[in-house]
Amino acid sequence: MLDERKLAVLRAVVEDYVSTNEPVGSKALAERHNLGVSPATVRNDMAVLEEQGYITQPHTSAGRVPTDKGYRLFVDRLSQIKPLSAAERRAIETFLAGAVDLDDVVTRTVRLLAQLTRQVAVVQYPSLTRSTVRHVELVPLAERRIMLVLITNTGRVEQRVVELPEVVGDDRIAHLRALLNASLDGCGLGRVPETVADLPDRLPEEDRPVAATILSVLLETLVDRHDEKVIFAGAANLAGDFSVGLREVLEALEEQVVLMRLLGEAGDHSALMVRIGSENPYSGLHGTSIVAAGYGSGDNELARLGVLGPTRMDYPVTMGAVRAVARYVGQILAGS
């Protein structure tokens, strides 16, 4: 266990290296930080930190850089995540509140995170399995064709054209619409199949084939959308941070499964997850760190968002931005 003085030296090494991208020497460290000890003492403390694996010497210079272990201790011992300014909070709220639908919310969120952190932002669409039905609409298109529209509590909209087995009048369509909404309003999507299983039996004989056709398409919609979608933005932000390994990072970003796995480690929506370097399960990302959090309302986590960048990232700022944006997105979707 490191004493407070050595922790202060480690914090100073991390902060200087993040700021300058240059190995940090003991003399410069003593000059730039009010550590209250001589350069010789700083040098001795750095030797201990290196011996214990928290910093390392990248080449034959006097400078040292943090290791994954050093960054981990720095993050774990953070006394404060840097909060956003009042102006930043207002800008985020205004920008996200201007979204017109779910796609717009997600697109704005990923752009916003990339701009705030200067990293790659990753946002997962709200999971259908965690959503509930807000409304079902049946829109007549032709005598034997309707549009089935499923709207979830998160603002997600699924649409399917349904070919009916017979001509159906507007009054019968209206009756089916009312029955579906009475049955499914507030129903979790995972419970829809069991909820509608006996619905045709509650209808007159002549309406059962039509109802069965509509329900079949509704259930197919839920199955087809089982795989969740992840989008990212800000890949250009990586260009200056990776002299080697950039190709592997970009390939990982293109893989939805990899991104889902990374975000899947976020835990509950009230907590931040930080995975540093070799802690990431994908070897191509061992030079990166992931900061992620879930978003939702109350205890209902809908999905996750976060950023990916080099291990040499400004963790207090990045963690503060991810936490704030996740909170705002959850509030907006809860009120949509």
CB-neighbour burial class of residue 318 (10 A; exposed 0-12, middle 13-18, buried 19+): buried
Fold category of 4-76 in CATH? Arc Repressor Mutant, subunit A (1.10.10)
Summarised one tens digit per residue, pLDDT across range 145-167 is 999 999 888 777 888 899 999 99
Structure tokens at 274: 């930080």
Q: What is the distance, to the nearest Å, from the Cα of residue 231 to the centroid of all Cα atoms in its chain? A: 9
The vertex-102 CA angle with 95 and 234, nearest 5°, equals: 60
Q: Please tell me the distance from the alpha carbon of residue 134 to that of residue 153, in angstroms, as a whole number.
A: 5
Q: Give the DSSP letter string of 87-151.
A: HHHHHHHHHHHT--SHHHHHHHHHHHHHHHHSSEEEEEPPPGGG-BEEEEEEEEEETTEEEEEEE
- Choice among 19-23, 138-142, 241-245 with the minimum mean pLDDT: 241-245
Do 119 and 318 contact (CB within 8 A), yes or no?
Answer: yes
Structure tokens at 316: 């207090």
The domain ranges of the chain are 4-76, 86-126+228-334, 129-224
**Beta-strand runs (E) in the chain:** 55-56, 65-66, 120-124, 133-142, 145-152, 157-163, 230-233, 272-276, 288-297, 300-310
Write b or e for each residue in 268-288: b if 16 or more Cβ atoms lie within 10 A of its Cβ, otherwise e: ebeebbbbbbebbebebbbbb
Average pLDDT (51-60) is 89
| CB count in 10 Å sphere of residue 295 | 26
CA distances from 301 to 169, 178, 241 (A): 41, 29, 33
Summarised one tens digit per residue, pLDDT across range 132-143 is 888 999 999 988
The DSSP output letter for 305 is E
Summarised one tens digit per residue, pLDDT across range 191-234 is 888 898 888 888 888 888 999 999 999 888 776 554 568 889 98
**Where do we find the tokens 């699924």?**
158
| pLDDT tops 80 at residue 50 | yes
What average pLDDT is seen over the chain? 86
The CATH number that domain 129-224 falls under is 3.30.390.60
Average pLDDT (304-311) is 92
Which residue, 211, 220, 204, is CA-closest to 177? Answer: 211
Q: Please tell me the distance from the alpha carbon of residue 259 to that of residue 38, in angstroms, as a whole number.
A: 46
pLDDT of 269 reads 47
Which residue, 324, 334, 271, 259, is CA-closest to 302? Answer: 334
The CATH number that domain 86-126+228-334 falls under is 3.30.450.40
Could you tell me the pLDDT band of residue 286, with boundaries at 50, 70 and 90?
Answer: confident
pLDDT of 307 reads 94
Q: How many helices (H) and strands (E) does the chain have?
A: 12, 10
CA distances from 151 to 36, 155, 241 (A): 61, 6, 42
pLDDT of 84 reads 85
